[in-house]
Amino acid sequence: MSNLTAHQRVQRAHVWLMGNPDYVLYSGIMMMGNTTVDDTVSTACTNGRDTKYGEKFVSKLKDTEVRGLILHENLHKAFKHMTVWTNLWHIDPELANMACDYVINLMIVDSDKERGFVTLPEGGCIDEKYRGMDAQTVFNLLRKDQEDNKGAGNDEGDGDNDGSNRGTGFDEHDWEGAKELSKEEKGALAREIDQALRQGAILAGKMKGSVAREIAEQLESKIDWREALREFITSMCVEKDFSSYRRPNRRWINEDVYLPSMEGEALGDIVIGVDTSGSIGGHELGKFLGELVSICNTVNPAKVHLLYWDSGVAGHETYERGSYEGLINSTKPAGGGGTSPDCVPAYIKEHKITAECVVMLSDGYVCSWGTWEEPVLWGLTSKGITADVGTTLFIGEF
């Protein structure tokens, strides 16, 4: 058992999760609100913004379970459970708690893939029968089970005898605390959560981590692709960040945890790769390039390498800082063959192009996504396709 205090163990688990490619997606969520470790709660809870951990409860957990506990609370925050599903709480608080837990616990188990780095404390609600459902759907099924059993037996469902762990939950849910948030506070919190997840998705792409399907769907239904594209390039370029301990991160100093702060450098070059295999028409191309001109004027890169590609790079145009306005009128799209985006990273390497990031526009119907050394964002016009490298953004119809 660790000699660290419960407070220190919670801090260390936060640092571990935020530094892991598979969980960096939630790093912004973990830094939201206040985090306290004391005995005002017996287990752990969140009101959707602030998080509390019971000191005695944490002290009894393994390190892997502390990580699982923190991830559990922050997934409640990521899905806005305490503010979105208050109607379920008013109907049946216990079933509302269980329904929310069933949704996120499967995600936590899936994220670890039997490696044993992140595990759930004993008593968690886990059942494969609820896979892919939201809290409302799970809640309805739990109520049906309850009514069928007339309040007796297992309210959490009969399962399929598949060895899954079914319980009533190991944490508390601060519905009352969430109720105290004003309408304005809830609106601001929802926007902050979406922003944190978008930034987390970008970080996950940079670290070759993954974005859970449920989170990707949540973001896909809410974000404007133009805003997300601008945010990606801005985060990669305008604040071309590198970590430095010369100025420790002030957010964590008071907790006796020293993390590096981020410092910026001058903006370099970016690459924009446009699929010209026939999937993107002239109207769509013009609209997209118009957005990119606006973005480039905002982030002001030193140079833009515009690559038109199909089965190979068919055109390479460069635009220096200050000349982006003329891009749409002067550009000459080229191509028309097959679709093989792996030609772009090969071309970048062959021609020794140093790029801070790459933005690729395509329909996504490809055989291989290529091997990239640069952070890459895919703007795909086909819904339901996700690149197996970098960050994927569904850009929809123009």
Is pLDDT at 131 greater than 60 in this prediction? yes
Long-range contacts (CB closer than 8 Å, 24 or more residues apart) made by 96-100:
96/135, 96/139, 96/173, 96/175, 97/168, 97/169, 97/172, 97/173, 98/125, 98/138, 98/142, 98/155, 98/156, 98/168, 98/169, 99/135, 99/136, 99/138, 99/139, 99/142, 100/76, 100/135, 100/173
- Do residues 270 and 305 share a domain? yes
Separation CA 39–CA 22 (nearest Å)? 31
Q: Is residue 211 part of a domain?
A: no
Please say whether the beta carbons of 137 and 88 come within 8 A. Answer: no
Q: Is residue 214 part of a domain?
A: no
Q: Is residue 179 part of a domain?
A: yes
Report residue 175's pLDDT band, with 50, 70 and 90 as the boundaries.
Answer: very high
- Do residues 235 and 369 share a domain? yes
- Do residues 44 and 156 share a domain? yes
- Do residues 297 and 351 share a domain? yes
- Do residues 198 and 235 share a domain? no
- Do residues 175 and 67 share a domain? yes
CATH code for position 263: 3.40.50
Residue 34 in tokens: 């206040």
pLDDT tens for 282-337 read: 777 777 787 778 778 777 888 999 999 998 999 999 999 888 888 888 888 888 77
Is pLDDT at 101 greater than 70 in this prediction? yes
Tell me, what's the pLDDT at 241? 44
- Do residues 200 and 230 share a domain? no
Q: Which residues contact 290 (CB under 8 A, 6 or more apart)?
A: 328
- Residue 373: how many other CB atoms lie within 10 Å: 10
- Do residues 228 and 335 share a domain? yes
Q: What b/e sequence results for 317-336 when a residue is b if at least 16 CB atoms lie within 10 Å of its CB, and e otherwise?
A: bebeeeebeebeeebebbbe
CA pseudo-torsion sign 9, 199, 24, 133: positive
Please say whether the beta carbons of 177 and 47 come within 8 A. Answer: yes
Look at the pTM and tell me if it is higher than 0.75: no
Query: Nearest Cα to 334, choosing from 357, 310, 358, 370?
Result: 310
- Do residues 317 and 263 share a domain? yes
The strand pairing partners of 394, in sequence order, are 380
Separation CA 43–CA 71 (nearest Å)? 14
Please say whether the beta carbons of 49 and 77 come within 8 A. Answer: yes
Domain of residue 151: give its range.
6-206
- Do residues 257 and 379 share a domain? yes
Separation CA 273–CA 302 (nearest Å)? 17
Please say whether the beta carbons of 204 and 24 come within 8 A. Answer: yes
**What is 9-41 written as a DSSP string?**
HHHHHHHHHHTSTTTGGGHHHHTSS-EEEESSS
**Helix, strand, or coil (residue 211):** coil
Report residue 240's pLDDT band, with 50, 70 and 90 as the boundaries.
Answer: very low
Q: E strand or H helix at 362, and its extent?
A: strand 358-362
Separation CA 26–CA 187 (nearest Å)? 19
Is pLDDT at 42 greater than 90 in this prediction? yes
Q: Report the mean per-residue pLDDT for the chain.
A: 83
Q: Is residue 215 part of a domain?
A: no
pLDDT tens for 243-272 read: 444 555 554 555 555 454 444 445 689 999
